[in-house]
Amino acid sequence: MSDAVQTQSTPNAAFTPRVFSGIQPSGNLHLGNYLGALKRFADAQEQGIESIYCMVDLHAITVWQDPADLARATRELCAGFIAAGVDPEKSILFNQSQVPEHTQMAWIFNCVARMGWMQRMTQFKDKADKNAQNASLGLFAYPALMAADILVYHATHVPVGEDQKQHLELTRDIATKFNHDYGVDFFPITEPVIEGAATRVMSFRDGTKKMSKSDPSDMSRINLTDDADAIAKKIRKAKTDPDPLPDSLEGLRDRPEAMNLVNIYAALADLTPEQVIAEHAGQQFGTFKPSLADLAVAKLSPISTEMSRLMQDQGEIDRILGRGAERAREIATPILHKTYDIVGMIRS
Ligand code: ATP
Ligand code: MG
């Protein structure tokens, strides 16, 4: 009896804690990816939980990618992970297409997920824009592949930015429906981990849109490959309002651009937004922006320098990805096989 209660209140108690997260190698790795994902992966590494980080190249091609650019962006992303502090010995780092179990599991999930669920995904609506009939089938099916990325490792925790919340809910729905339809407790109900001061870094051009790799305006984001001058210029030109910083967080309500810069400062400095406001209350952006630029340059320059150093040894990056893929497959293969057994696929 007490076991049953425990299973109900902590559905993942039977699963070993395991972290999974992915980033698309769609170029232009940016400050939002760093604060919402990479920095948090590096910070979490010391917790001693097995962590699997994936360059999701199969997601990237849901919109057309030039092949040479895709290969380069995948290696650059791997360099970005390492430069941000993710250790390929402690964590498993690889690119998705080298582990075929992701797409094999995705097919099973395509048959579990319902059309109505997929049609509610706001990211598809945003990315397909007004041209949904001309979007790829892959862009529509992407969240089922993402569920497979996570569940093929029985991952219990997924650190992501706020924009991925809906996809994580879909992952939980798919796990729940699979478990229910087959009468098993096989997949964990994964917890999204959306934490920190900058879970949603906004565009520098428009405080209501998230900073994105795929935004056509380079001024909308700080790329991790930007040099000190570019970083300072982009912050100086970031859209703001004419008022000084208020003396409480309350005063940032309805000021999305100002709020964004305060949140970025807080996340880079490992402070809370309240602490940043306490330190900078009453400042004009003419004063606050240069402080933010100095901080951003101090934190990001070592990363971009390390990324370009790592990029000079392509062979080493490819070896890291290959070794990571082998380690990933050791976990994924038995889980996929068990899934096939549950579903009734013959494996001889
Ligand atoms: P794309 O525009 O190609 O979708 P993206 O910038 O959204 O690129 P993703 O590869 O889709 O980047 O996301 C990688 C990780 O970065 C995810 O965990 C996502 O939640 C996080 N992330 C993306 N954009 C932001 C942002 N603006 N603020 C905080 N986290 C973000
Ligand atoms: Mg995205």
Tens digit of each residue's pLDDT (9 = 90 or more) over 194-228: 999 999 999 999 999 999 998 999 999 999 999 99
Query: Among 39, 165, 177, 210, which one carries the catalytic annotation?
Result: 210
CB neighbourhood size of 227 (10 A): 14
pLDDT tier for residue 13 given thresholds of 50, 70 and 90: confident
- Determine the distance separating the centroid of ligand 2 and the alpha carbon of 122, expressed in angstroms: 11
Residues 239-257: tens digit of each pLDDT: 999 999 999 999 999 999 9
Residue 37's pLDDT is 96
> Measured between alpha carbons, how far is 322 from 88 in angstroms, rounded to an integer?
11
Q: Would the CB of 212 count as within 6 Å of ligand 1?
A: yes
| Average pLDDT value for residue range 113-141 | 93
Task: Judge if the beta carbon of residue 23 lies within 6 A of ligand 1.
Answer: yes
Is residue 6 pLDDT above 70, yes or no? no
Lowest mean pLDDT among 40-49, 78-87, 141-150, 299-308: 40-49
Q: Which of 39, 125, 130, 213 is catalytic?
A: 213
What is the mean pLDDT of the segment spanning 91-103?
98
pLDDT at residue 50, as a whole number: 95
Amino acid sitting at position 66: D
210 is catalytic: yes
Q: What pLDDT band is residue 4 in, cutting at 50, 70 and 90?
A: very low
Confirm if 347 and 340 have CB atoms less than 8 A apart. Answer: yes
Answer for the pair 83, 319: CB distance below 8 angstroms, yes or no. Answer: no
Tell me, yes or no, if 289 is annotated catalytic.
Answer: no
Answer yes or no: are the C-beta atoms of 54 and 149 closer than 8 Å. Answer: yes
Q: Is the CB of 223 under 6 A from ligand 1?
A: no
- Edge-to-edge strands of the sheet including 92-95? 92-95, 50-55, 18-23, 157-159, 191-193
Query: Residue 12 has what pLDDT?
Result: 80
Measure the CA–CA gap between 31 and 104, rounded to whole angstroms.
33
C-alpha span between 118 and 136 (Å, rounded): 14
Determine the residue of 21, 23, 33, 62 to mutate for testing ligand 1's pocket, defined as the one with the most ligand atoms within 8 A of the Cβ atom: 33
Q: What percent of the chain has pLDDT over 70?
A: 97
Which residue's CA is the nearest one to ligand 1's atom 8? 213
- Mean pLDDT value across residues 180-207: 96
For residue range 21-30, list pLDDT tens digits in order.
999 999 999 9
At residue 318, does pLDDT exceed 60?
Answer: yes
Q: pLDDT tens digits, residue range 56-77?
A: 999 999 999 999 999 999 999 9
- Please, which pLDDT band fits residue 11 given cuts at 50, 70 and 90? low
The DSSP code for 30 is B
- Quick check: 7 pLDDT over 80? no
Q: Is the pLDDT of residue 8 over 90?
A: no
Average pLDDT taken over every residue of the chain? 94
Q: What local confidence, expressed as pLDDT, does residue 10 receive?
A: 53
How confident is the model over 46-54, as a mean pLDDT? 94
Cα 228 from Cα 240, distance rounded (Å) = 21
Cα separation, 9 vs 3, in Å, equals 10
**Cα(212) to centroid(ligand 2), Å:** 7
Reply yes or no on whether the pLDDT at 2 is more than 80: no
Has 239 been annotated as catalytic? no
Q: What sign does the CA torsion over 62, 63, 67, 69 have? A: negative
Our answer on whether the CB atom of 127 is closer than 6 Å to any ligand 1 atom is no
Q: Sign of the C-alpha dihedral, residues 319, 321, 325, 327?
A: positive
* CA 37–ligand 1 middle distance (angstroms): 8
Tell which one of 28, 63, 157, 163 to mutate to probe ligand 1, the residue whose CB is within 8 A of the most ligand atoms: 163
Which of 39, 90, 125, 127 does the annotation list as catalytic?
127
